[in-house]
Amino acid sequence: MNQLHTQTKYAIKRELLRNPRFFLFNLAMPAFFYILFTKILVQGSATEKQQFNLNYMGSMIAYSVLISMIFSVSAFLAEDRQENMPTLLAITPAKQLYYYVGLMLTMTVMNILSASVILTIATIINGVHLTLSSLLLIVGLSALGGLPLMLIGVLVAKSGRPSSVNSLCNLVVFPMAIISGLWWPIGLLPHWMQQIGKLMPTYAVNSLLNVVTKQMHFNWSFIVILAGWTAALLIIIWMLSRVKNDRSIQA
Amino acid sequence: MSSIIELKNVSKKFKQLSAISNVNLSVDEGEIIGLVGENGAGKTTLINLILGLQKPDTGQIKVFGTNPGTTVCRNQIGAMLQENVSIKNLHVDESFQLVRSFYTHPLSLEKLFTITGLSEFRHHNMSALSGGQRRQLAFGIALAGNPRVIFLDEPTVGLDSIARTQFWQSIEQLRHQGKTIFVTSHYLEEIEAVAERLLILQHGKIKFDGSLDALTSLYSGATATFESELAVNYFKTSPLVLEAKKHGDKITLKLSDGDLWLLESQPFLDKIHRLSLMPNSLNEIFTDVTQTGGRNHESATHAN
């Protein structure tokens, strides 16, 4: 446990406290988008605006979880790999599981912070009213929904160097955000695209947030989608790890 | 003494290239082993195999009686590999603390700072360190777990002369503590100063395994420099003379055996002035072993 505590403590320092990218991309950017779309670009009646403030709050929380998990996790892992961290873990008695669990806990804190920033802005600036239990549920769901997205980040990190990982992140994150209706309502997309979008983990996260914020009907399919993605990604990562296990570094 | 590392008929190939070929090796606790060889000789592969970073294609490796890479092994081994480890956004002291947390009985933080000399950089970000300081940090990381066996792969690359001297002093202290140390270096004079046992690798095979004394007695070559009224061609007639050159008044002979040549030269020793007879340096012996396979010496044999 001491090792897990130390790994998590330093992962939080590295990824949250000493990482300007976190403040810029994970906190500031979704907050900026939320303010931009709800205060400047929004049109309609007061009721419609209020509804949009609530809808878009969920979307931006899901979006911040998406970029936190995929961009941050993949960058963290790819940079660590470039700096030979996996070798350090392999030659010392470090438990690799703790490294990943420490990262997962760090990312959970990151999600909670990201969600809290959007919630705070929605409450203070846009007058969105939510009960304390709803607020806590939103924070909890954003943390839970981040799990499959984090695994996508792990998978992306395995693809190459930090520079190529960043490009790949862009190829994954932005289409996923669009297709799952985080930027624009999913109903505006062609029917076939909607069908794909509704299978995305980001759509499931956003829908679960809507269940809380708009008292929409709970559907187990959202949980099944998240669980399915998590299981499939875990299997893929495990298989890739086995293939790469005997890293052949030529002398 | 008990063997703590055993390799039996170990081979490792990368595609068609044989990196390690049928290597047998037994290492006792407390030995300081210099592992030398040209680039691509298989030094790093051998270390990686013992560390469990790679698996042999054939043969068996036992470290502390178990397979390499087990937690039991890793708890007792420290390694400073060629490529430095850098942990982004962590300070030097935090990096040591993190690595210390991996081990059951780590060295104290202060001890690590004393050994590495990085005390004044303890709150510096790792990325702010120079290449030499990163090497010292890597050395500290290798020692963080207070290991019984330490692998040092090209440890002094990038270190300035003062840091290099301090580094070898630290190795001396580790020797007194009974640590087993594997060290590879391109600076053979450093290996010569510290290693009791030398392994020369060539094309994945051990060309020599033994003490430095054994090596120098096997490869007893020397260089003779003198002035003489005799012509340089006169000296070339001896089978002990591998090469003869004249620069001005000075004649320089490369000899396969300096002592024998001195005996052979008794009849005309009065015609040789200002004689200097220097045994070959480890560098010259190494070149001889790896490039000519020791063919310059009739007595050349090797242990493995």
| pLDDT, tens digit, 9 for 90 and up, residues A46-97 | 888 888 888 888 888 888 888 888 989 999 999 999 889 999 999 999 988 8
Q: What is the pLDDT of residue B298?
A: 40
Among the partner-chain residues A2, A91, A246, the one whose CB lies closest to the CB of B101 is A2
Q: Which residue has the tokens 């988008």?
A: A33
From A250, which residue of chain B is nearest by alpha-carbon distance? B45
Question: Mean per-residue pLDDT for A220-228?
Answer: 94
pLDDT digits 0-9 by tens, A156-179: 998 877 778 888 999 999 999 999
Q: What is the pLDDT of residue B67?
A: 93
Chain B CB within 8 Å of residue A184 CB: no
Chain B CB within 8 Å of residue A2 CB: yes
Least confident stretch, A130-134, A175-179, A228-232: A130-134
Among the partner-chain residues B54, B77, B97, the one whose CB lies closest to the CB of A6 is B97
Q: At what angle do helices A132-157 and A73-82 cross, to 10 degrees?
A: 40
Strand B180-184 and strand B149-153: pairing? Answer: parallel
Q: What is the rounded CA–CA span in Å between residue A124 and residue A134? A: 16
Percentage, residues of chain A above pLDDT 90 = 42
Taking 3-state DSSP, the helix, strand and coil percentages for chain B, each rounded to the nearest 5, stand at: 35, 30, 35
Contact A197, A189 (CB under 8 A): yes
Question: Cβ–Cβ of A90/B14 closer than 8 Å?
Answer: no
Least confident stretch, A22-26, A156-160, A213-217, B229-233: A213-217
Which chain A residues are within 8 Å of B129, Cβ to Cβ? none
Q: At what angle do helices A162-179 and A46-67 cross, to 10 degrees?
A: 150
Question: Cβ–Cβ of B81/A84 closer than 8 Å?
Answer: yes
Chain B CB within 8 Å of residue A1 CB: no
Farthest-apart Cα atoms in chain A, separation: 70
Which chain B residues are within 8 Å of A14, Cβ to Cβ? 87-90
E strands in chain B:
3-14, 17-28, 32-37, 58-63, 77-80, 149-153, 180-184, 197-202, 205-211, 222-228, 241-247, 250-255, 272-279
Question: Mean per-residue pLDDT for A245-249?
Answer: 47
Taking 3-state DSSP, the helix, strand and coil percentages for chain A, each rounded to the nearest 5, stand at: 80, 0, 20
Prediction ipTM score: 0.82
φ/ψ (deg, to 5) at A126 = -105, 0
Instruction: Output DSSP code: residue B77.
Output: E
Q: Which residue has the tokens 């200097």?
A: B276
Nearest to A6 by CA among B88, B95, B108: B95
DSSP of A96-108: HHHHHHHHHHHHH
Q: What is the rounded CA–CA span in Å between residue B54 and residue B94? A: 29
Question: Cβ–Cβ of B104/A19 closer than 8 Å?
Answer: no
Using a CB–CB cut-off of 8 Å, the residues of B that contact A are: 14, 17, 19, 40-46, 48, 51-55, 69, 71, 74-75, 77, 79, 81, 83-90, 94, 97-99, 101-104, 141, 145
Chain B CB within 8 Å of residue A248 CB: yes
Among the partner-chain residues B17, B53, B145, the one whose CB lies closest to the CB of A247 is B53
Q: What is the pLDDT of residue B32?
A: 94
Angstroms from B124 CA to nearest CA on chain A: 13
From B97, which residue of chain A is nearest by alpha-carbon distance? A6
Question: Mean per-residue pLDDT for A208-225?
Answer: 86
Strand B58-63 and strand B3-14: pairing? Answer: antiparallel
Among the partner-chain residues B17, B84, B94, the one whose CB lies closest to the CB of A10 is B94
Question: Cβ–Cβ of A250/B19 closer than 8 Å?
Answer: yes
Question: Cβ–Cβ of B81/A92 closer than 8 Å?
Answer: no
Q: Is the pLDDT of residue A198 over 80?
A: yes
Q: What is the pLDDT of residue A1?
A: 65
Residues 19..78 of A with a Cβ closer than 8 Å to B: which? 19
pLDDT digits 0-9 by tens, A96-119: 889 999 999 999 998 889 889 999
Question: For every one of its 304 residues, what pLDDT tens digit does chain B have, with 9 covering 90 and above?
Answer: 578 999 999 999 988 888 999 999 999 999 999 999 888 889 999 999 999 999 999 999 999 999 998 999 999 999 999 888 888 899 999 999 999 999 999 999 999 999 999 999 999 998 888 888 999 999 999 999 999 999 999 998 888 888 888 899 999 999 999 999 999 987 778 888 889 899 999 899 998 899 888 887 777 788 999 999 999 999 999 988 988 999 988 999 988 888 889 999 998 889 999 999 988 877 777 777 776 665 544 433 344 3
Contact B22, B206 (CB under 8 A): no
Question: Cβ–Cβ of A80/B87 closer than 8 Å?
Answer: yes
Chain B CB within 8 Å of residue A18 CB: yes
Instruction: Output DSSP code: residue A218.
Output: P
Q: Which residue has the tokens 């030529």?
A: A250
Which chain A residues are within 8 Å of B203, Cβ to Cβ? none
Q: What is the pLDDT of residue A182?
A: 86
Contact B201, B42 (CB under 8 A): yes
Structural domains of chain B ordered from first start: 3-211 (3.40.50.300), 220-279 (3.30.70)
Among the partner-chain residues A7, A10, A91, the one whose CB lies closest to the CB of B79 is A91
Q: Which residue has the tokens 């700072």?
A: B113
Residues 87..106 of A with a Cβ closer than 8 Å to B: which? 87-88, 90-94
Nearest to B142 by CA among A9, A142, A91: A91
Q: Give Cα A170 distance to the centre of its chain.
A: 14
Say how many C-beta atoms besides its own lie within 10 A of residue A155's C-beta.
19
User: Where are the domains positioned within chain A?
Assistant: 2-243
Q: What is the pLDDT of residue B192?
A: 84
Say how many C-beta atoms besides its own lie within 10 A of residue A51's C-beta.
13
From B201, which residue of chain A is nearest by alpha-carbon distance? A251
Angstroms from B285 CA to nearest CA on chain A: 23
